Structures are given as C-alpha cells and as structure tokens.
Chains A and B, each alone.
Chain A
Amino acid sequence: MKAANNGQSNASFKNKKAQVEVQFNWIFILIVGAIILSFFVTIAVRQKGISEQEINIAFFTNFEKALSGIAAVEGKMLLFEVPKMDLRYDCTPGCDCAAYAGTSRAKVVGGALFSFKDKIIFSPNSLKGNNLLTWSKDWSYPFRITNFLFMTSPEVKYLIEDTSHGKVLFENLPPIFIQKEQKEQRAFDKQLLTQEQIEGQTIPGITGNYKVKFVFTETDPVTTNFNIPTALKDLPNSDVTAIKIENEKVTFYQKNDLKFEIIGESYLFGEATTYASIFAEDLNAYGCMMNRAMKSFNMVSRIYQEKQLQYFIYPVLEAKDCKIHYVGTAISNLIKILDDFNFKEQEDASSITNNVLSFATQNDNALKDSCPHIY
C-alpha cells in the first residue's frame, strides 16, 4: 500500500515537474520573443534616424553642388525647388555659419551642419516654402574679388523706399516672377515703399510673409519716428528688420513694439555689398560673411601686389617709362589694413577706400600711358 502510495506521489511529482517545464517553455518563448522583437524595433528606430540623416546629407550635398555652380558664374539667378523642411542658414556670434534642417542648431540630429566654408552667402536665417531663390553677384572693389551668393525665399518681403537710389536697387534686384518649366513662378517678393505709405503707415500687401525687410535710402526710421504697420504686429521682432543705406555706410534696425531700434552700423564697399546688406539676416550675419569676403579681398590683393612687383622689375617696362605705374605703395597699404580688419568691430574703413582709389588710379594711368594694366 505504502509502495503504491509512493509510486503515485512519484508520478504526480513528475507530472507537476513536466507541467512546470511546459510553463517554463512558454515563459522562455515569451522572453526570447520579446528580446527578438525589441531588437528589431531598436534596429527599425535607428534605421529611421539614419535614413532621415542620409536624406538630409544627400539634400545638402546636392544643394552645395548647386550653390557651387551658381556661385562660380557671375549674375546667375536660379529658382529651385526644395523639400518642405525647416531649412536654416545662420551664424553664431562667433561666426560659425552653417546650413541645417530643423528649428534650431541644438536639435540638429547627428550634428548635420553644413558650413559651406568656401562660399560667401547672404541670406535670411530661415528659408521657408518649396522654392528657394539663389542669385550670384560679382564683387569688384576695384578689381574682381569673388562672387557673392544671395539666397532668399519668395515668402520674404522686401520693401524698398521709393527714391532715385531705391528705384535703382528695386530694378536691379531679382524679378518678382521667373519663367520656370514654361510657367511663371513667384521668385522674389519686392515692393516700392512710397513717401505717402511711409507717412501714412498703411502699406498694402504685407500680410502672409514670415519675414519683412525694409530698405531705406533717405528716411531714417528712428529719427523720423517711423511706425511699423499694425499688420506686422504679430511677427516676432527679429523677423521685421530694416536697413538704411547711405554712401559707404549701412545701419541695421530691428522691430521693437511698432518702432525700429538701431542694432548697429557697418560698411559698404561697392555695389555688391549693398545687395549683401539687403539679403543678410542681420548685422552679425553681414559682418561674418564680409569677414569671409575680406579674406578673399586680401588674397586677390596679394596676387596683384606680386603681379605689380613683377611688372616693376621687368626691364622692357622700365624702358617704356611704365615703372612709375607699378610702385606698390597703395596695394601694400591696403594689404596691411586688410590683414587686421575686422568687419564686426567698428573700425575706420576710409583708409581701405582711399587705398583702393589710389590703386584704381594707378591702373587707369597705366592704361592711358599704354602700359600693361594691373587688373
């Protein structure tokens, strides 16, 4: 009886153990399944991030190629389609300028910042919409230095004061519509700002833009107490800006309530820099890019200095009484100033202008005396 009982309890124990083993098998399947599932979920999430980054990199690589093509040719204007993304191009106070996709630098995935170091780009910090207008302009001062690249969105409004200088700027800026794929497409939003509109504070057609830039050529928006139209009240202060262009100086303003306040002043060196100040986001972006441009100016000046020196010691030119035109004082002075010139600091730019004029006169005189021109 006892043995039979023992046998029964042994069988029931084995049965229970087997039941536990079957349950353990299911638990094992569940755990392994969960691990495998989480492994694939992790891979999928990472792959999503990587492919988003790859799309960004592919876009910016192609974008850079397109910009290189445009920047290489003077006066090239192109309206090209971009994916609907928060495209930004901005400069930090330390002049670390970069393009990226996203609302802020801090949120950029995987540090995908594109510095476009070899290009001199003037653009609003945010480029919204499906189209992007790019325009290259040659900067000569007095010789050809480089091509500036201007970028903007057709959704940014440029209001130019209706004066004789303002009209010239208005005419030379890109056209409002550009023929693209046999269709007229809005490329650039510009409008002349009449004196009545400035005084009356009512400016038609200024709604629906995410940024508005006023370009004054005679009116000082601070001393004349210019009132920003109430239609622009809701736009952030940094998105309603103004500049005042005077001879070789440009003043930058920003909205504060419904008035403009001065941000700072900078210099203009020739026609291209005037357009640069129109397209630049603010004084900081203008200063950063102009510092980059000044490096090119310095380097090209060094080439002309070397060329002038070679002409100066060339015996045939000495015999032709040309030597006087190749005395390198003006260009050497210019290089000395350019070596230390910082656009972001309020330095005296008149010495640059004076030496540039002297060098230009030297070149003109060489041409008049039938001597080889320097540039």
Chain B
Amino acid sequence: MRNKAQIQMGENVIILFIFFILLIFAVVFFTRLQATKKEQVIGADIEGRGLQIAQRVALLPELQCTKDNAIITPGCYDEYSAFALDELAREGENKVYYFDLFGFSTVSIYKVFPPKEEEKPLVIYNNTKEEFRAIIPTYIPITLCNFVSDVTKGQCSFAVLKVEVYG
C-alpha cells in the first residue's frame, strides 16, 4: 500500500513536470508569435502614418495656390508660401506646432522640369529621429508656381513632393 502511494505521488510529480514543460513551450511559442505580429502591426502603422502625413502635406491650406481664396488648381503649390514655411517651421514654437502634424519626418520639394543644374531641394519641414527602424518615402507629383514672375497664371514648374517618415 505504501509503495503504491509513493508510486502514485511520483507519477503525479512527473505529470506535473511534463505539464509545466509543455506550458513553458506554449508560452514561449505564443510570446514569439505575438512579437512577430506586433512587428507586422508596427510596420503597417509606419506605412499608414507615412501616407497620412503625405496626405496632410499635400492638402496643407497654407501651401496651396489660391486666388481670391479659391484654389486655382489642385496639386498646385505656391513657391513663396513654401519659402515662408521653410523659414517658419525651423523656429522653436512653430516647430512644435508642425511636429503635431508631421511628426518625425522630412518634407522636401524637388523641381523636376524645367531642369536646373545644382538646384537644391526646398526642405519645408525637417525633424529627423535619432534612432529609427525604417524610412518610408512617399512621392507626390505637384506643380510649383511663382506668382511674382507672372501675376495672372504664375510661372509654374513640375516638381515632386517627397515625404520621408521615420519609423
């Protein structure tokens, strides 16, 4: 009888031991699965954020070409407004305001046509992250117009708006 009880006890301990080993395996597997899932979600989130910021920049009211407050053509940017934003977005308080909109990103305009040699891109917002996993770039074709050279139609060039989001 005593031996039987001892055997039963031993069996239980072994069962428990195996059970806990299986449990540990399950927990490790589940944690890894969750981590992979989380990575995928973060990746999708950065991409989504990139598109959201690109959309925000593309439709920023202060940059649009307007005449008497009406948008002349969609996708048209006023060059002087872009210059002004470039000046302003660097200053402390303004930087905080634009950070709420654009977060960690760099927004620049590259003139494509008519081509000009050695023309630097116009950086309208720049806030880089010290450590980042990836840069998600988004390119939006735009028209960049200068209404000083031509008051009625504006002297326009074809440009690309590049939005780089740091994830």
Contact = CB atoms under 8 A, between A and B. Distances in A.
Interface in B18-73: 19, 45, 48, 52, 55-56, 59, 61-62, 64, 66-69, 71
Contacts of A140: 69
Nearest to B85: A303
Most chain B C-beta atoms within 10 Å of own C-beta, residue among A17, A18, A117 = A18
A32 B6 CA distance: 17
Nearest to B45: A61
Nearest to A62: B48
A32 B97 contact: no
Interface stretch (A66-74, A151-159, A162-170, A219-227): A66-74
Nearest to A298: B97
Contacts of B12: 25, 28-29, 32
B128 interface: no
A113 interface: no
A41 to B, nearest CB: 15
B97 A18 contact: no
A373 B147 contact: yes
A140 B64 CA distance: 13
Nearest to B59: A72
Interface in A283-331: 295, 299-300, 302-304, 306-307, 310-311, 314, 316-317
Nearest to B48: A65
Contacts of B100: 117-118
Contacts of B78: 307
A295 B97 contact: yes
A20 to B, nearest CB: 9
Nearest to A68: B52
A111 B62 CA distance: 35
B62 A303 contact: yes
A36 to B, nearest CB: 8
Interface in B76-112: 78, 80-81, 83-85, 87-88, 94, 97-98, 100-101
B61 A300 contact: yes
Interface of chain A, helix or strand or loop or mixed?
A: helix
Given A372-B147, A372-B151, A373-B67, A310 B48 contact: no
Nearest to B103: A118
B69 A375 contact: yes
A68 to B, nearest CB: 5
Contact of A306 (B48, B67, B88): B88
B88 A302 contact: yes
Contacts of A61: 45
Given A15-B1, A18-B2, A310-B83, A143 B52 contact: no
Nearest to B27: A43
Contacts of A370: 151
A21 B9 contact: yes
Contacts of B16: 32
A18 B4 contact: yes
A19 interface: yes
Interface of B: 1-2, 4-6, 8-9, 12, 16, 19, 45, 48, 52, 55-56, 59, 61-62, 64, 66-69, 71, 78, 80-81, 83-85, 87-88, 94, 97-98, 100-101, 147-148, 151
18 contacts: A17-B2, A21-B2, A21-B9, A22-B8, A32-B12, A73-B59, A118-B101, A142-B69, A144-B61, A144-B66, A146-B61, A147-B61, A302-B84, A303-B84, A307-B83, A311-B148, A363-B68, A373-B147
Interface of A: 14-15, 17-19, 21-22, 24-25, 28-29, 32, 36, 61, 65, 68-69, 72-73, 117-118, 138, 140, 142-147, 295, 299-300, 302-304, 306-307, 310-311, 314, 316-317, 363, 367, 370-373, 375
Given A21-B5, A143-B69, A370-B151, 8 more contacts: A21-B6, A25-B12, A28-B12, A300-B62, A302-B84, A303-B85, A306-B83, A375-B66
